[in-house]
Amino acid sequence: MSRRPFTPKVVTANLLVEGDVVYLSAADAWVPHLSQAEVFEDEAVAEARLLDAARQTEVVVGVYLADVTLGPDGPQPSHFREAFRASGPTNYPHGKAHEVA
């Protein structure tokens, strides 16, 4: 059985205390918006960055690689789950879901 080709990915997680969805930037900082995330097109680099991010247990939980597509405004979610996570909390008006652009 052959492996599927590697597709662009970002490292994502949730902040430990606040629970907000965050993304790893090229500056090795956790950022709140997918458009600010570092995009990995090389599987080995993505896996290495994932391992480094997963060690930040005092800051984030649930670290994983999420598929993205590359758009004119940066990375875009490839799947409904990631689009939902990127939009922010929906249980009451706060966070990214209600920011003014």
Q: Tens digits of per-residue pLDDT, 31-86?
A: 999 999 999 999 999 999 999 999 999 999 999 999 999 988 889 888 878 887 88
Question: Does residue 32 form part of some domain?
Answer: yes
Count Cβ atoms below 10 Å from residue 12 Cβ, excluding itself.
25
pLDDT at site 25: 98
Would you give the distance in Å from CA 89 to the centre of its chain? 15
Residue 96 falls within a domain, yes or no?
no
Please tell me the predicted confidence (pLDDT) of residue 101.
46
In the chain, the number of structural domains is: 1
CA distance 99 to 101: 6
- Residue 45 domain flag: yes
For position 92, what pLDDT does the model report? Answer: 54
| Alpha-carbon gap, residue 94 to 29, rounded angstroms | 22
Residue 93 vs residue 13, higher pLDDT: 13
Asked if residue 95 is part of any domain, the answer here is no
Please tell me the pTM assigned to this model.
Answer: 0.82
Q: CA–CA separation, 18 vs 7, rounded Å?
A: 30
- Measure the CA–CA gap between 68 and 78, rounded to whole angstroms: 5
Note down the domain range covering 17. Answer: 9-90
Range scoring the smallest mean pLDDT among 9-23, 65-79, 83-97:
83-97
Q: Does 99 reside within a domain? A: no
